Every structure is written in structure tokens, then in C-alpha cells.
Structure 1
Amino acid sequence: MVQPRNGVTTRLVNVNGEAELSVPKGRGRKRAKEAEESAAVKKVKVQLKAPDITDGVVLTVGMGDIGQLGLGPDVEEKARPAVVPNLTDVVAVAAGGLHTVCLTKEGKVYTWGCNDEGALGRSTASEEDAFTSGCVDIKGKVVQISAGDCHTAALTDDGHVFAWGCFRDNSGLLGFLEKNVLQKSPRQVLEDIPIVKVTSGNNHLAMLSQDGRVFTCGCGESGQLGRIAEMFASRDLRNGKGIETQLEPHPVKVCRRRKAIIFDDVWAGGMTTFVRAKATGEIYGCGLNNYNQLGHEDTSNKFQPVLLKSFSGKAWAQISGGQHHCIALTEAGEVHAVGRHEYGRLGLGDIKHDATSPTPIPTLKDQPASAVSAGECVSLVVMRSGSAYAFGMGTNQQLGQGDDEDRLTPAEVTGKQLAERRVLAASAGGQHTVLLAVPK
């Protein structure tokens, strides 16, 4: 029994996840409606993004000295993509800073690479354990994964988020949900809030709830959390609460005409976060903007989400943030780049200036794309045809071109292991690239 302040009693009975209400008048009616909405939102079913994928395999290329390639302790680098052994029916991949994550059709998560700060979510007693794939023990069927520099997140089909590892800032370790804590096994985050998407930046995590809110946690020193003012986004606050404020997940609040904006998508990457307004499709962004990587003309960091007018006029399907640039994809398959031009990471050729707003990449103009990924100084584009392109800094061989040269324009990723396969997804790590491919 619930006793409202006006003295009117409201009876709440939950049967099969639904609320039956004896609806009173006045404020009691409002409270009953809120309770009904709360009961209705408790159940959520999140589907795999591409449930029809079959026979998916993982291919890796680049540096693997910490095991991030997953090819065993004897393989520390690859100039062309190689298949990671002992993995079948893979449906999603995510490259962290020095580790790799993949998801199988059965909802199992496998990890490999650097485990110094718990990013693998499992025990690695020997070097070989970190250089080869191992399953993470997670309660439930996982349907989404994401990875940052030292953390990993997984979303189950019933809307629960499990994450592990840690977040860092420029001064060192921040912790996970608590200050200075390394979370070496999966831990549930936001237990009472149904989540429909998880996405990771280098050192922050963003989660989209069923009711259209975005929750963030991790490092906020560049504004990437979108909910902490610059003066409070520091570990050096007098009350000692600077770190705790960042690590505890809280919602991002954006209002327009005094009404809270409901979101239908979120993309975290590098030190930026982008959100999409459900009603209008408008893009808001926050975080590091020193090279206009947010697409905002003012290069100051944005500690609250700001409307990005340069993204107006197009329907955006995906935005991926690197360190100083972003790659964006429209619903029509057009690929745009914005931010710093050095090393060719924008794919615009031998230009001498940064891109201050999303700019179409000419050489990809006539080929619709299906996915994009931005790493620290590299970019990856997957075409609907099943081919993959890479451009930017080639020092770590993660462009998959067989050498360590930079590419100023998109270059197709080829090799023996791709001859009879088509690429469905790509993810750029700190020094390596991960591809998801299926037979042609």
C-alpha cells in the first residue's frame, strides 16, 4: 500500500511485470501514473545488432607485444590481418587500448591482451593466458560490448550492464566505481535502470537507458562526461570528492525550451561524447575540442553537451571519436571526417589544415559505408560491399597494408585471410586493428 501525502490510498499490484492501479484523484493520480511508468520500464529486451551473422571470425593486425592480437606469445606483430584461433560464430568486436574483446552469437564474451589493470575481466596466471582468448564469466546473455584504454563493458539482453577494469586521468589511476579500485571481474553497473546501449571512450563509459537518458562515468577532466562543470572535474577538490563524482554514474541533462531532451543514441570515443536527440535527430557533443574534433568552431573543451550546428541537415547513424579527430557516418552511408589532419587520419589527402566541420571523404563518395571507427591517429571504414579501408598513421602496422607507412587517403585492407571473406565491422585500438569477417 502506498499512502500519498494528500491521504488518498493507492493500491499497486505487479503481475507479470505490469502494474494494476486503483487510481485516486489529485496528486495521488499523478503518483500512481509515475509508479505505473516505473513498473513498465523495468523489463527490457535488447537484441543483437546483427542477429543473422553466421560463421563470424576475428582478424587482428598491428602490434601485439602485450597480447592484444590474440595470436599467441610468439606473434608480437602482424602487417596483414590474421585470424584469431579458437573463436567461432563471432558477432561483435571491440579494440581497447592494449586489449581486445569479442562477442559470440551465444552471448559469450572473450578477451585477450594487457590485464595489468583488470581490462580482461578474468584471471591470467601465465603470459600465454593473456596472449590467447579466454571466456569472461558474466551472468546472462551478452548482446553488446565496448572497450576503452583499461576497461571493458558488456550489456545483457535484459538491459543489465556489467563492466570491469579501471579509468585513468592525466595523473594516473582514478579507479572503477570507487577511488583507486581495480575491478578485475565483471561488476554490475546501474542495477535498477534498464540500459539499451553501452559505449566506451578512452577512459569513460556512456550508457543509454530505455527511457532515453544517458548516464556517464569515468574520467571527466576534458568534459567528456557532459555533466560536471570544469571547476569540479578534477581530483584535487578541497572536499576530496572530485574522483567519486566522476566515477559514480549519473545522467547527462540537456534542456531546450525548459524541457529535458530525450536521446535515442550515444557514441563515446577518445575524450568525446556525442548524443542524438530523439525528437529532432540533432547532435549534441561534449569533451575535448582542441582540434575542432567535436565539429564546433570554438576550440575550448565542452563540459556540457552543446548543439553541434555543423552536423545539422543530415541523419547520422554513427560517430566515432579518436584522440583529435572524429569519423562520422550518415544513414545514407556517406563518410565524413572532422578534426586534426596530421598523418592523414581524415582521409582527405595532402591537406595542410584541420577540418572544423564534418567533411565528406572524396575517395569514398561513391561507395556507401556501413560502419566507421576512429583510433588515436587512424581511421577505419567498412563498406556495405564487405571491403574495409584504413588511413592515417601506419607506424604500428595497424592499417593492414603490409608496411608501416602513413596513408593520406583511404586504402583497402587486403591479405590472404580476407580473400574469401567480407568484413562486417572494424575497431581501432591503441596500436592494433580488429576486424569481424564472414565467408563471402
Structure 2
Amino acid sequence: MPPRRRLAAAPPGTKPLSKRSSATRGAPTRGKKGRDAVAQNVNNKSDDGERDEEQEQQQEQQQEQQQEQEQNEDKEQEQDVNEEQEQNDDDHDEGKEKTKKQAEPLRRGPKRGTGRAARITKPTAAPAQKRIASAGKSGSGKTNATAKARSKQLDLDREATRQRDQSTAESSGSRASKRKREEVEDEDEDEEEEEELEEAPKQKKPRGGRSAPKKKIKVQAEEPKPVPTSAKSRDTNLKAASAPKTAPKKPAPRPRTRGPGARGAPFNEVPTKQLDVFVFGEGSSGELGLGSKKHDGKKPIDVKRPRLNHNLKGVVALACGGMHCIALTHDQTILTWGVNDDKALGRDTFWEGGTRDVDDEDDSEDEDDTGVNPRESTPGQVDLSVLPEGTKIAQVAASDSASFILTDDGWVYGWGTFRGSDGIIGFSEHARIQETPALIPELKNITKLACGSNHVLALDLSGKVFTWGSGGQFQLGRKPISRLAGPSVGLTPQPCGRFTKKHRAVSVGAGSYHSFYIDSDDQVWAWGLNNYSQTGLSENTGEDDAMVLQPQVVTSLQDHKVSQVVGGEHHSVACTTEGKLLTWGRVDGHQVGHPSSLFNRQNSVYDDNKKPRILLEPTAANGIKATFVAAGTDTSFAIDEAGKVYSWGFSANYQAGQGTTDDIEVPTAIENTAIRDRRIVWAGAGGQYSVIAAEAEDDEVKDKEVEDKEVEDNVPNGD
């Protein structure tokens, strides 16, 4: 019979173990004030071998319990950090100004991270650790029942910790949901930053003496978005966002690669022969292109005789509008100068100067600066980036308020506007004033352009004539497609008649308010304003509202083979293949260039004062074999085979180039040093100025001309 085991005496001050406590020997019991110390085992049933085995099991269990306690400790520490972060977020919701002060250290990282590291490195001892330490001091009196009791108690502790974590997570989720609803009302950027700050503390913190700032700095580097800002900082950001930004420059229109305007096979001849340009006339609006200051001691206005324009080099083609000019150079540059009120120059000419005190006694007529806008009076380049690469320009043309260019492959570009009796009509259906070059897509395969004051004619390869612009005097030669459309109905180019293979046009011409074309049978067709018989037709001649509505054959020219026909405001000029110079129309300003003895009751219409007013039919001028003709408003020019230029008509502003303001009755050769012995090949005129061009010559010859011109300056009636 084994010896009877005796119960160990209970330590002083402890109560005897109850039946329940004896069933769970070694397990801590709970009293009213908390858990009591762990009871010691009173029975020792094992021998020394069994005791050693139990001690090894207890040590393994203690190690496992320590690991579990460390995990619980980490969870509690993370929960503490989460609760601290949630408190900071709540503070942000209560006052945005206070949040900014809290967010500033968080953005920097190290200062705030140091505080958290101190909390992690110096945790308070948990009750479970105390229990384990107490149990570790129990010595060899522990049994399997004691180990089981401790294990059960640890399970209870873990369950309590899990429930506490779950409760805290639910509370945290509730607060996060509340913040999310509030942040939806704020900016999206603030919402993203709040989520970032909510996620950042959930990273597992290092144990022991290691601190967290480096980890925090790493998170900030990975997510560099700013934290939520206060109301003051948000206002600053809004002001910065609303600060004026430099408006991007408007891109130039791209050249077309397909459809209208696309580069095609060239068929128009491109001019290459360079010209010297000579100008004369009033020039007070810059239409002479001489600039705004004196050059070689001469003013750029009131030029009495032809003067070489020193601003124009390498010009190969020109055109004159009412008060502006356009030129093409040998390197395919377009230059414009003159009045730009309706954007006829196709470029910006804004200038803030041009004013002076008229009462200032210091001002004198000898001042170098005339006060004319230098950006208008000096030839300037037009941006042609809208043209496809490789495009060449074959012709330039100008009306009173618009300019046009014709390419070698038959496309037409223009800018400016058209005017009618009531003001601006528009440039096209889509643009009232076209400031820069734009394609006219309705026109293709065009071979020639001709401009009146406010209308244009275009001839295509098939022999059709298109017209567009102002049609108030029926100068478009076609019926309006709508009675309700008003004057703008004529802004779209359309054929002015029926053209076939048997009836096709070969040339076009225009006066201010009337038009012409020459057909393949050498017949001249005319239409438009006819109050001075400027069309060559006798319909309602002499009446103020006399008009030819549609193209009609000019029977008075059937006996002549006309090669070129042009018009002024109320007169017309033509030349034939034989060199005849023909004129007709208004005569009271000597526009037709015939002596008074020519007029009679048979060929002219007289006014109430018994003076001739209208030359009814084309009449040849004697003594000139013309090859080229041109007409301004009331002034005309003709160039003969030898390259001499003749002028006649109205000359109140020196636009006849004869050095006088008196009208020139008959065609008179222009003679001065500037153009003497020069072969003139082109002429043009506007309202109060004129331009002629000669074949360019070597610099040595030009120097000699300058010397001769200086001598002529001392002669009366010089320019």
C-alpha cells in the first residue's frame, strides 16, 4: 500500500482551496477585486523523472504563452496607435484650423513618430505577463493540472482580447464612415489624403528600442500627396488655382492635305522676273509703301512723279486696291501695305503713336516723321502657313477692302471683307471680316483673278467664270438665289452664266462696279453698272440706275480682237491684239483720254450745259500701240511696245505721275529721271495713288540713276 500523501500547508493568509479550485489546481481565481495569485500545487504524485518531464512541458508552454502574449501586446499597441490617430481625425473634423497644426508635424514625420516610438518601446506590463511571472516562481510544485489551468485561463484572456479588438474595430469603422460622409462634401483631393492618413498607422510598428520615424518617412515618400488642409490653406490654394494663366497662342490653321486646298499638280505659271517698283500720288494713308519717315530727304507723301520704292526688293508681281497694295516677291513672300481698317493687309498693324500737338510751335513741316502709321505705310509680310508645303503663288489681286492670292495649282486664298452701300457685307458666309489668309473652298482649278471695288471674278480651266462679293449693281451677273438672304447672298462664288465646251471664257476683267469676260470666239461680254455706258452697252445710258443684269455681248467691240479689258469707276479701257487703245464711258474728268474735238452728238451724250458727259462706244486713241492697260478710279495707263508708260485722266493728287494736279486730257508719256530709259512692264492705280514697275537692273545702273535724280531735284516740278 503506497504511503499516504499529505497535503501541504497553505501559505499564511490564504483561504483553503474549494472544491472548484481543487479541480483546477494552479489556475488563477477571480475575486471581487480581480484575480488572486496563482495557488500552489499541494499534491506531488510524480517522482523525480516525472517532475523533470513536467518542468520541460511547462517551459515549452511558457514559451508558447510568451509568444502569444507578445502578439496580443502588438495588437494592443497597434490599437492604441489607431485610437490615437482616430482622435487626431476627430480633432480635424471639429476644427480645420487646428487640423492644419496637427497635420504639419505629421507631414514632417520624425517629430510625431518619435512620440509613438516611445509608447512602443516602453509598454506597461499586461496582467497576463504578471500572471506568467507569478507562475514562473511557483517552482517544482506545479502539476499537469496547473498547466492545463493556466492554458485555459490564457484562452479566456485571448477571447477577451479578441472581443475588445472587434469592438474597437467596429467603433473605428463607424468613425471612418462618418468622416467619409463629411469628406464627400469637400474636395476629392482631401478625401484621398484622409484615406492615406487612415491607412498609414496600420503598418506594424517595430518592437523594442527601434523607433518608427523612418518607417513613417518611407510611407510619406511613397505617397507624397499632401494631408488635408485647413480653410486658410485651402483658400490659398484656390487663389493660386484661380491665378491668371498665360493664354495659349492660337495655333495657325493647318494646311490641307485632302479635299479643297490640298496640294495638286501645278498648271499656273509662276512669275520669276524681278521688278523695280515706282510709286506716286498722295500717300497720306501709307498706300505708297515708303514708310512714315523721310528717305534721302524726301517725304513719303505727295509724291509728284514716279519714285523708286526703297522698301520693295525682289518683287515679281503686284496689285492695287482702293487704298492698299499687295506684292509677291521672288522667294514667295507676300507683302502688303496701306489702309488696314478692314484687315485688307492680312496682318496686325496696331500702333499707339501718331498724335502730336497741332498748336506746338516747335512742330514744322521739315520734321522727318510724318505721323503716318509705320506698320501700315511700310510693306510687311503676311503669314502664309495655311498654304500646303511646296505651294507656289502665281497671282495677287486686290479690291477696295480685300486681298487675294492664286496658287500654281489653282486654289484661291483671301482676307479682308466686302462692302456694300450700307456698310460691311462680309467676307464669306462664315466670316464678317477675315483677318488672315483663308481658303475659298468653292473655287478650284482657277487660272486668273480680277477685282472690282467690292467684287471678284475668277476664271477656271474649263472656261467658267465665277463671281462673288457685293452685287448691289448687278456686277456679279447672276440672279440672287434667295430674295430674303440680303446682300450676303453673293458671298459664295458661283458661275455668272452658262458655259460649255463651245462657249467658254478665256480672260476676265473688272471695273469698280461692272465686269467683263472675253470668250473663245473673241467676243467681249459685259454686265453691271451702266449709268455712263461703262459696259460698252447702250441700255438706259445716262440714267442713274442704269444696269445690265446679266452678261451680254458688247456688239460695239465685235470688230476688234480684244486681248485685255479693264475698268475704272465710270469708264473702261481695252487693248487689242493689233495694239489699238480703246476707251469709252465718262468724259468730264478726261477719263477716256480723248480731245474735246472728238465728241459729237452721234458718239456722245451731252449734259444740260451742252457739254459732253458720256462717250457711248469704244473709240481708239491715236499714236499709241498698246500692249498693256490699267485703270484706277478716274485715271488710266497704257504701256506701249517700247516699254513707255502713258497716263491720262484725273490728277488732283498727282496720281497721273505728271507732276501736276491738273487733269491730263490725252495719253501722255511719263518722263522723269527715275524711269527714263527704263522698260515699264506693269502699271496699276487706286483711288489717289498709282504704281508702275520696270524690269530690275544692276546696282551700278541704279547708282547712276540716283546721281541723275539728285541733279533733277533742283529742276522745278520735280517730285
How does 1:107-186 map onto structure 2 within 5 Å? 107-126=332-351, 127-138=373-384, 139=387, 140-178=391-429, 181-186=432-437
C-alpha contact 1:217 1:248 (8 A) present in aligned 2: yes
- The one of the two structures with greater contact order (alpha-carbon pairs below 8 A, sep at least 6) is 1
Q: Which residue, 323, 338, 342 being the options, matches 1:98? A: 323
CA distance in 2, matches of 1:131, 1:107: 21
Local SS of the residue matching 2:468: strand
From 464, 470, 493, give the equivalent of 1:213. Answer: 464
In the alignment, structure 1 residue 317 sits paired with structure 2 residue 542: no
Q: Is the CA contact (8 Å cut-off) linking 1:90 and 1:436 kept in structure 2? A: no
Distance in 2 separating the partners of 1:134 and 1:244: 30
Summarize deviations over 1:46-68 as a string: whole Å, max 9, x none: 003x54x24x1111100111100
Q: What is the match of residue 281 of structure 2? A: 62
For 1:408, the equivalent position in structure 2 comes to: 665
1:245 Cα offset (Å): 1.4
Equivalent residue in structure 2 for 1:251, among 487, 495, 501: 495
Relative to structure 1, the CA distance from residue 192 to residue 383 in structure 2 (aligned partners, 3 Å threshold; closer, same or farther) is closer
Partner of 1:356, secondary structure, is: strand
- The alpha carbon displacement at 1:362 in A equals 2.0
Partner of 2:643: 386
Matched residues in 2 for 1:43 and 1:265: separation?
22
CA contact (8 A) 1:109 1:142 kept: no
Question: Is 2:509–2:517's contact at 8 Å kept on the other side of the alignment?
Answer: yes
Q: Secondary structure at the match of 2:682?
A: strand
Structure 2 residue identity aligned to 1:243: P
Look up the equivalent residue of 1:108 and give its one-letter code: T
> Are positions 1:293 and 2:527 aligned together?
no
Aligned pairs for 1:308-347 (under 5 A) are 308-347=554-593
User: Structure 2 vs 1, CA of residues 370 and 107 (structure 1 numbering), >3 Å: closer, same or farther?
Assistant: farther
2:343 aligned with 1:86, yes or no?
no
Cα separation, 2, equivalents of 1:86 and 1:376: 26
Aligned to 1:45: 267
Q: Distance in 2 between matches of 1:308 and 1:191?
A: 29
- Quote the Cα distance in structure 2 between the aligned partners of 1:304 and 1:136: 36
Query: Are the aligned partners of 1:420 and 1:439 in contact in 2 as well (CA < 8 Å)?
Result: no
Runs of 5+ consecutive residues of structure 2 not aligned to the other structure: 1-263, 294-299, 352-372, 600-611, 698-719
With over 3 angstroms needed to count, the CA separation of the structure-2 counterparts of 1:434 and 1:173, relative to structure 1, is same
Deviation at 1:363, TM superposition (A): 3.8
Q: Which residue does the alignment assign to 1:361?
A: 621
CA distance in 2, matches of 1:167, 1:197: 20
Q: Is the 8 A contact 1:344 1:409 kept in 2?
A: yes
CA distance in 1, matches of 2:677, 2:533: 40
* 8 Å CA contact 1:58, 1:87 repeated in 2: yes
Q: Which of 692, 695, 701 in structure 2 is aligned with 1:435? A: 692
* Gaps in structure 1 of 5+ consecutive residues: 1-41
The 4+ residue runs of structure 1 with deviation greater than 6 A are: none
CA deviation string 1:342-392 (max 9, x = no partner): 11111111243522111001242xxx2221111111111111211111100
The separation in 2 between residues aligned to 1:247 and 1:45, in whole angstroms, is 26
Amino acid at match of 2:523: E
Give 3-state SS (helix, strand or coil) of 2:497's partner. Answer: coil
Q: Secondary structure at the match of 2:589?
A: helix
The reply on whether 1:227 has 2:478 as its aligned counterpart is yes
Q: 1:389 to 1:168 in 2, by over 3 A?
A: same
One of 200, 205, 210 as aligned partner of 2:451: 200
Distance 1:121 1:165 in 2: 7
> When the two structures are superposed, what TM-score results if normalisation uses the length of structure 1?
0.83
The reply on whether 1:425 has 2:661 as its aligned counterpart is no
Check whether the contact 2:474–2:527 (CA below 8 A) recurs between aligned residues.
yes
Secondary structure, aligned partner of 2:674? helix
On the 8 A contact 2:570/2:585 being kept in 1, the answer is yes
Q: Alpha-carbon deviation of 1:327?
A: 0.4
* CA distances 1:298-324 after superposition (whole Å, capped 9, x unpaired): 133012101111110221111111110
Aligned identity (percent) is 34
For residues 6-60 of structure 1, give each alpha carbon's deviation from its aligned partner in whole angstroms, at most 9, with x where no partner exists. Answer: xxxxxxxxxxxxxxxxxxxxxxxxxxxxxxxxxxxx7441003x54x24x11111
Q: Equivalent of 1:302, from 520, 544, 548?
A: 548
Give the superposition deviation at 1:192: 5.9
- Once residues 383 and 398 of structure 1 are traced to their aligned partners in structure 2, the CA distance between those partners, rounded to angstroms, is 20
Give deviations 1:386-427, integer Å, cap 9, x for gaps.
111110011011001111110111111122211242211000
Q: How far, CA to CA, are the matches of 1:437 and 1:61 in structure 2?
A: 14
Letter in 2 for 1:118: K
Q: State the AA in 1 paired with 2:581.
A: V
Secondary structure in structure 2 of the residue aligned to 1:418: coil
**For residues 94 and 255 of structure 1, do their structure 2 counterparts lie closer, same or farther at Cα, with a shift above 3 Å needed?**
closer
8 Å CA contact 1:44–1:210 kept in 2: the answer is no
The answer to whether the 8 Å contact 1:203/1:218 transfers is: yes
Counterpart of 2:374 in 1: which secondary structure?
A: helix
Query: Does the 8 A contact of 1:119 with 1:165 survive in 2?
Result: yes
Instruction: Name 2:171's counterpart in structure 1.
Output: none
How many equivalent pairs are there? 384
Q: 1:273: which partner in 2?
A: 515
Deviations 1:174-215 (A, max 9, x none): 110137711111111135621111111100011111111111
- Contact map agreement 1:325 1:339 (CA 8 A) in 2: yes
> What secondary structure is seen at the aligned counterpart in 2 of 1:174?
strand
Q: 1:35 corresponds to which residue? A: none
Aligned equivalents of 1:378 and 1:97: distance in 2?
12
Letter in 2 for 1:247: L
Pick closer, same or farther for the CA change 1:180–1:45 going to 2, 3 Å: closer
Q: Which moved more, 1:369-378 or 1:85-94?
A: 85-94
Secondary structure of 1:47's counterpart equals coil
Find the residue that maps to 1:342 and give its secondary structure.
coil
Deviation track 1:227-274 (CA, whole Å, cap 9, x = no partner) reads 126x96xxxx5x3x1233111111111369xx8832111112211110
Q: Say if 1:224 and 1:286, in contact at 8 Å, map to a contact too.
A: yes
Q: Which has the higher strand share?
A: 1
RMSD value over aligned CA atoms?
2.1
Distance 2:628 2:383 in 1: 29
Distance in 2 (CA, whole Å) between partners of 1:67 and 1:87 is 14
